[in-house]
Chain A
């Protein structure tokens, strides 16, 4: 069955630290990949997406992600986090059937 795995359940960082959140998926076909963010008490919002082309994708708020096909990975990165980045982050893959499959989410807490 198709699945998305996020390795970190809860990450705690200090402001200005660098961030990398892992995401691996299990699906051998053509995939579209996404990172969504959910700020406390809010709905999911798209951070960035990969469809094709340059495997390094830039998103909003200084986030980026790199698609490594050989590793089935799509890790999210940010060089310097801010307190306002405290949120839950979800990796998702859309298969050719049209379904979005989400990972379990990673809760990020940034200490001021």
Chain B
């Protein structure tokens, strides 16, 4: 299995621009999670989906952030407009929901907003 796939791996953009991060979960997994990792705040859960439906988005920092999961094999995290404080590594993870919480992480997208 290819594991969780994320793209792009690195993104550098200017403040005010729209940024879209992409994730393909492991085939057969029905839960998908978006995390943000920074030095200051550590690893934070932003939102997670179960069967393509957002279950908990309480971690989404503000309205500039939005996430979608149009089908079982694809999700996006969008930031519009981006700000320098959004610079972080964004991880996507997935699991089957029946394996008691073990999540499989993607390689992450390192976002730099200048």
**Is the CB of A112 closer than 8 A to any CB of chain B?**
no
Query: Mostly helix, strand, loop or mixed at chain B's interface?
Result: strand
Query: Which of A34, A90, A102 makes the CB contact (< 8 A) with B101?
Result: A34
How far is it, in angstroms, between the C-alpha of A103 and the C-alpha of B44 when the chains are bound? 9
One digit per residue, 1 when the CB lies within 8 angstroms of any chain B CB and 0 when it does not, for chain A 78-94 equals 00000000000010001
Query: Which of B43, B55, B91, B107 makes the CB contact (< 8 A) with A98?
Result: B55
Select the residue from B31, B42, B101, B102 with max chain A CB neighbours within 10 A. B101
Residues of A within 8 A of B105 (CB): 36, 43-45
Residue of B nearest to A97 (CB): B56
Query: Mostly helix, strand, loop or mixed at chain A's interface?
Result: strand
- B43–A102 CB distance below 8 A: yes
How far is it, in angstroms, between the C-alpha of A36 and the C-alpha of B55 when the chains are bound? 24
One digit per residue, 1 when the CB lies within 8 angstroms of any chain B CB and 0 when it does not, for chain A 35-55 equals 010000011111001010000
Q: Report the minimum CB–CB distance from A87 to chain B (whole Å).
A: 14
Residue of A nearest to B58 (CB): A99
How far is it, in angstroms, between the C-alpha of A103 and the C-alpha of B103 when the chains are bound? 15
How far is it, in angstroms, between the C-alpha of A112 and the C-alpha of B97 when the chains are bound? 41
- With A97-B56, A100-B33, A102-B43 already in contact, the answer to whether A43 and B107 are too (CB < 8 A) is yes
Q: What size tier do the contact residues of chain A reach?
A: 20 to 34
**Is the CB of A75 closer than 8 A to any CB of chain B?**
no
**Is the CB of B88 closer than 8 A to any CB of chain A?**
no
How far is it, in angstroms, between the C-alpha of A94 and the C-alpha of B31 when the chains are bound? 14
- A32–B56 CB distance below 8 A: no
**Is the CB of B45 closer than 8 A to any CB of chain A?**
yes
- A102–B97 CB distance below 8 A: no
**Is the CB of B108 closer than 8 A to any CB of chain A?**
yes
- B100–A51 CB distance below 8 A: yes
**Is the CB of B106 closer than 8 A to any CB of chain A?**
yes
Query: Which of A42, A46, A100, A104 makes the CB contact (< 8 A) with B42?
Result: A104
